[in-house]
Structure 1
Amino acid sequence: MSNATLSERGRIWGLVALYIWQRTRKWMHGGPISRLQPFSSVPERLLIAPQDLRTADATNAADIYGGRFLFSGHLVETQGRSPFELQAVHEDWQRELHAFGWLRDLRAADSQIARQNARALAEDWIKYCGRWHPIGWEAPIVTRRILTWLAHSPFILQDGDHSFYRIFIKSLARQVQYLRQTINETEDGVERLHAALAIASACISMAGQGRFARQSIRRLDQELSRQILPDGGHISRNPRALIDILADLLPVRQAFVAQGLEVPAAMVQSVDRMMPLMKFFRHGDGALAHFNGMGSTPSDLVATILAYDDARGAPPTNAPHSGYQRLSGGSSVVLVDTGPAPDIALSGNAHAGCLSFEFSTGAHRMVVNCGVSSKSNPVWRKVSRSTAAHSTASIDDTSSCRFLSEKPFGHLLGAPILSGPRVIDISREDDAAGCRVIASHDGYAADFNVLHQRDLRLSADGTVLDGIDTFQAVSSLDPDMLYTIRFHLHPAIKASLIRAGSALLLVCRDGEAWEFEAPGIEIALEESIYLSDVYGHRRSEQIVIAGPLEAAPSVGWQFRRTATAKLSRRGTSDFDETEELPLEDPPVDTSEDAAAAADDTPLD
């Protein structure tokens, strides 16, 4: 048995031991015995309601009043019953119901009927689920419900009687106590940081918290200092984490100011660091790059968050602690993943996308990663995390990371990354000619004796992107070994082979055109799928360069702009909208390639 296999086995058993230990502690701190303990710490009143930055849709209020709840793609009609009485409904639907995010839609309706409906549903939850519910008391759901109840408490409590006021605050305090008791057993990363935010928000929003408030602020400081890296990134390396954290952190900071309290130093520093990095990940159209779990961008929420940015400076050029590089020239932007996988306990949503890149010109995203699906589907999740779903190179259709398989512990532990790139060398040059980044990783060294190096240069005017992928042998190579370099195209890009198949023409919706070529290498245009569109899965295409590794240890390629935008007389593009792909399971070709690339067969 190889040392790598032994090391992976050690990591697996370490995860199993941690899982058992956390489950035991959670049962002790938040289980049946804890819930039977008398609860008397009921605050006298609410002092302040932190703002909710997320967008509301008032049109949903009528459906909710009529007993029609559309959550996570599932429509449930309650037929006059409380939704909290229903059984055997999809778990994702229940999570959205119990999180109470839909309260903002009722509040947006701004009517007496909406307020009465909100009170009735909150009272139903307290009646049916206030003591316990297998989904309603999951830590992330408790966190979201606390933050939502606090933010919308003026709306819920307006015109309500004193009796409801008391049971509402008592239930809120009970949930905060549960979260306080179980925070150390919540999943590390964003989930634990959100729990600390919810506890701190509750303690400064409710009267008479005193000692609890000081403890909660200290714990929030600790989590922010530990999880927010010096360059502003999150330890999970997921750009989405920045949006989710700032959306809750900014209202808590405002609540401190409104209460006349000193804003903790870690909170100030974290906001100041995260704001520039969120801009770092943005393309010209405002969307964030699809790295390590980032799906579709909530553009309205990002715009709201950026309105709180006091500095309003240019994004940084690199994020060395988070493991990303940004090249910019003219209207073009290239974002590159140059970091290792996060710690195993934080890698449940991380991707095998080392040295993958995304490329945009103006408001057009050209080269992308496939992103993540909004559908709750384990097959799509597996596909999206593979190297084949990223714009980078793979060896023998194998991912650069090895994930925990479903058996024997995957159903308990998820699919964290057991091994992957660890040694990543990076050099960067910025001069009058443009930006250049050279990076290499050892993700294929153990199994294939190969180091992958990628050399990217973007011209100063942004009209040319040159790349060289080099496969350096560290030992003898298998003569049958194949490399595959993929460039996934955004669905809005129309691609066609030209020059007898030696080049590709890429046309944007407004007529801007680019050519792609790889001298001396056969170019293929194949089907792909874009998972992160706000409207669902979209058919797309990918440029594929493949061949024997020994025959082409170095592959050069280039994107070059050949035409600027040409709008029609209407001022808009004449290109058709991309086709939606309403599929629950991947197309045969895509799933076979990407699932094979995931390389998560059970360990011996």
Structure 2
Amino acid sequence: DFYRRFIRVLTKGYFLLQRRIDTAWPGKARMSAAIGMTTFALCAQGGGFLLKKAVKTLNDQLALQILADGGAIDRNPQTLLDLLFDLLPLRHAFAARGKAPPADLLRAIDRIWPALRMFRHGDGSLALFNGMGVTAPDRIAIALAYEETRGQPIFNARYSGYQRLESGDALVLIDAGQAPAPLHSGDAHAGCLSFEFSLGPDRIVINCGNPGSRRADLRLSARTTAAHSTLSLDDEASCLFGFQTSAPAWLADKILVGPRNVPVAREDDAQGAQVLASHDFYARRHGLYHERSWRLEAGGASLRGRDRLIAANGDSPANVNYAIRFHIHPSVSLTLISEGAAIVLETPGGENLIFDAAGLPLAIEESIFFAAPEGPRPCEQIVVYGASADIDEIDWSFTRQAAAATA
């Protein structure tokens, strides 16, 4: 009797998902529904006649939500990890039932693995972009253990909008993509042209990350541009969120408008690797494009960057106040030197780096690291303030002291 009631509930749930999957639960929830339908049709006795339709629904969602480079349509690294923990058991369920897994399922899994590796720092944690919060290293290790090829990470993920620079033990991860479409942007952040920087297991430059569901009161703050290591104008976010407008309540947490044009150029040579990118969001109100470049020298001796504010109409730049923020991991200590024109960063591993912005005055201010396993932790940020009419091009660098001394 219990078994019959149990199967009846599952069957009822299957047909509920089937009726509503095209009209409700956009984004990740729709993918979960498709995986649930396929699992039921595959495993339930007599469910074979449902399997063909369920697999088609699953294939449609995989094609929509897993991009050609393996990134997720919502641009959240956590989504890739969660999907692997749903798709890998489904793949094994097909084998256990003596059926060949759908080719689209196998291809999606194969694309996800190198994309997930792209976001991974030397300490095993994932970069804090677009909704990523606390990393569970054990989950990543388990997921990657099923990758038979032990492949390499992607370095140029142009479909999902990310770049990876790596040399020696130095690693730079860059958000150089458009905001997700509104229906897929419920967790997305206004972090275009932000980056993270690490040396081996030591995280140095970070974004603040997602505080998680237990600290929903901090979620909106974590999604602003000021919570990311990039430039902001007049303390404005580089996206327009639904809660900032009179949009319906169901759009309150969505990004309604973000950067539309984010061109990216990459160059790799024997001396290092460089990425140049820009976005146009601030052109709507301030008439300025934000352009940023990163160059990681061979061996990881230094990371050099440049921020430029370019007039959209070709005239002289408008006079707008800007702030360039570099959020620093809580484990790194900061000390102002050279009368405030440079900063020494000391990592837990004993590395010393010098940060400077071509002699411009620097500020060390309070920040918060939302993605610590024990909950939000205080940290510090380096900030360069200015006005675009005075200085519209700012060079900055992180240089390892040993490399500087040798030079």
Q: What interval of TM-score do these two structures reach, taking the shorter chain for normalisation? A: over 0.9
2:352 paired residue among 503, 510, 513: 513
The equivalences for 1:195-210 within 5 A come to: 195-210=33-48
1:283–1:333 Cα contact (<8 Å) kept: yes
* Aligned partner letter, 2:121: H
Structure 1 position 169, deviation (Å): 2.5
Q: Distance in 2 between matches of 1:557 and 1:409?
A: 39
**Cα deviation, residue 513, structure 1:** 1.5
The answer to whether the 8 A contact 2:75-2:188 is kept is yes
1:281 counterpart residue number: 119
Report the alpha carbon displacement of residue 171 of structure 1 after superposing the two structures with TM.
Answer: 2.0
Q: Does 1:523 align with 2:362?
A: yes
Instruction: Find the partner of 1:223 among 45, 50, 61.
Output: 61
**1:139-154 correspondence runs (5 A):** none
1:456 aligns with 2:294: yes
Aligned pair 1:351/2:189, yes or no? yes
164, 169, 180: which is aligned to 1:342?
180
SS at match of 1:221: helix
| Structure 1 residue 172 displacement after superposition | 2.4
Amino acid at match of 1:204: L
Amino acid at match of 1:555: I
Equivalent in the alignment of 1:536: 375
Matched, 1:323 2:161: yes
Assess if the C-alpha contact under 8 Å between 1:428 and 1:437 holds in 2: yes
Equivalent in the alignment of 2:265: 427
**Aligned partner of 2:162: which letter?**
Y
Give the distance between the partners of 1:414 and 1:259, measured in 2 at CA: 44
Alpha-carbon offset, residue 258 of structure 1 = 1.5
Partner of 2:130: 292
Report the aligned-residue RMSD: 1.6
Residue 92 of structure 2 corresponds to residue 254 of structure 1: yes
Instruction: Return the letter of the residue paired with 1:397.
Output: D
**Who is 2:252 aligned against?**
414
SS of equivalent to 2:330: coil
State the TM-score, normalized to the length of structure 1.
0.65
Task: Look up the equivalent residue of 2:367 and give its one-letter code.
Answer: S
List per-residue Cα deviations over 1:453-475 (Å, max 9, x = no partner).
10100011012000000111124
Q: Specify whether residues 386 and 477 from structure 1 end up closer, same or farther in structure 2 by C-alpha distance, changes over 3 A only.
A: farther
**1:396 counterpart residue number:** 234
Aligned amino acid, residue 364 of structure 2:
L
- Note if contact 1:440-1:452 (Cα within 8 Å) is conserved in structure 2: yes
Determine if contact 1:449/1:477 at 8 Å carries over to the other structure: no
Q: Which amino acid aligns with 2:171?
A: V
Alignment correspondent of 2:392 = 553
Equivalent position of 1:497 in the other structure: 336
| Cα distance between partner residues in 2 of 1:479 and 1:202 | 59
In 1, Cα distance between equivalents of 2:234 and 2:396: 20
* Cα deviation 1:276-331 (Å, max 9, x = unaligned): 00000100011111111111112111111101111112212110100000000100
What percent identity do the matched residue pairs reach? 44
Contact kept? 2:241, 2:252, Cα under 8 Å:
no
2:51 is aligned with 1:213: yes
**Offset, 1:409:** 4.1
Contact 1:179 1:199 survives alignment (8 Å): yes
Q: How far is the alpha carbon of 1:493 from its aligned partner?
A: 0.9
Q: Find the aligned partners of 2:79 and 2:229 in 1 and give their Cα distance.
A: 22
Q: 1:521 to 1:458 in 2, by over 3 A?
A: same
2:359, 2:373 → 1: CA distance? 38
- Structure 1's unaligned 5+ residue stretches are 1-162, 565-604
CA contact (8 A) 2:229 2:327 kept: yes
Cα offset, 1:271, TM superposition: 0.6
Q: 2:278 aligns with which of 398, 421, 440?
A: 440
How many Å apart are 1:226 and its aligned residue?
Answer: 1.7
Q: Distance in 2 between matches of 1:278 and 1:319?
A: 11
Quote how far apart the aligned CAs of 1:499 are.
2.0
Aligned residues: 402
Q: Give the CA deviation at 1:348.
A: 1.7
CA contact (8 A) 1:280 1:326 kept: yes
Q: Does 1:244 align with 2:118?
A: no
TM-score by length of 2: 0.95
Tell me, in whole angstroms, the C-alpha distance in 2 between the residues paired with 1:278 and 1:386. 24
Deviations 1:66-96 (A, max 9, x none): xxxxxxxxxxxxxxxxxxxxxxxxxxxxxxx
In structure 2, C-alpha distance between the alignment counterparts of 1:338 and 1:413, rounded to whole Å: 24
Kept after mapping to 2: 8 A contact 1:289/1:358: yes
Asked whether the 8 Å contact 1:511–1:563 carries over to 2, the reply is: no
Q: Cα distance 1:541–1:410, how it changes in 2: closer, same or farther (>3 A)?
A: farther
The answer (yes or no) to whether the contact 1:232–1:276 under 8 Å persists in 2 is yes
1:15-414 paired onto structure 2 within 5 Å: 163-405=1-243, 408-414=246-252
Deviation at 1:379, TM superposition (A): 3.7
Cα offset, 1:205, TM superposition: 1.3
- 1:479 to partner: Cα distance: 5.8
1:501 partner letter: G
Structure with bigger gyration radius: 1
- Alpha-carbon distance in structure 2 between the residues aligned to 1:273 and 1:480: 45
Tell me how far apart the structure 2 counterparts of residues 520 and 496 of structure 1 sit (CA, whole Å). Answer: 16
| Residue 396 of structure 1, CA deviation | 0.9
Partner Cα distance (2:190, 2:316) in 1 = 22
Letter in 2 for 1:245: L
Deviations, residues 379-422 of structure 1 (Å, cap 9, x unaligned): 41111111101000011111111111266445333321121211
- Give the equivalent residue in structure 2 for 1:13: none
Tell me the secondary structure at the aligned position of residue 75 of structure 2: coil
Assess if the C-alpha contact under 8 Å between 1:284 and 1:364 holds in 2: yes
Which stretch has the larger CA shift, 479-488 or 442-451? 479-488
Say whether the 8 Å CA contact 2:212–2:219 is kept in structure 1: no
Which structure has greater helix proportion? 1
Partner Cα distance (1:186, 1:563) in 2 = 57
Any idea what SS the aligned residue of 2:371 has? strand
For 1:316 and 1:210, the matched residues in 2 are separated by 38
AA matched with 2:178: P
Q: Does 1:465 align with 2:303?
A: yes
Contact 1:448/1:477 (8 A) holds in 2: no
1:397-456: CA deviations, max 9, x gaps? Answer: 111111112664453333211212111111111000011000011010010010111010
Q: What amino acid is aligned across from residue 128 of structure 2 in structure 1? A: H
| Structure with greater strand percent | 2
What is the alpha-carbon distance in structure 2 between the residues aligned to residue 176 and residue 477 of structure 1? 61
User: Match of 2:96, as an amino acid?
Assistant: A
Residue deviations 1:186-207 (CA, integer Å, cap 9, x gap): 3222111111001101111111
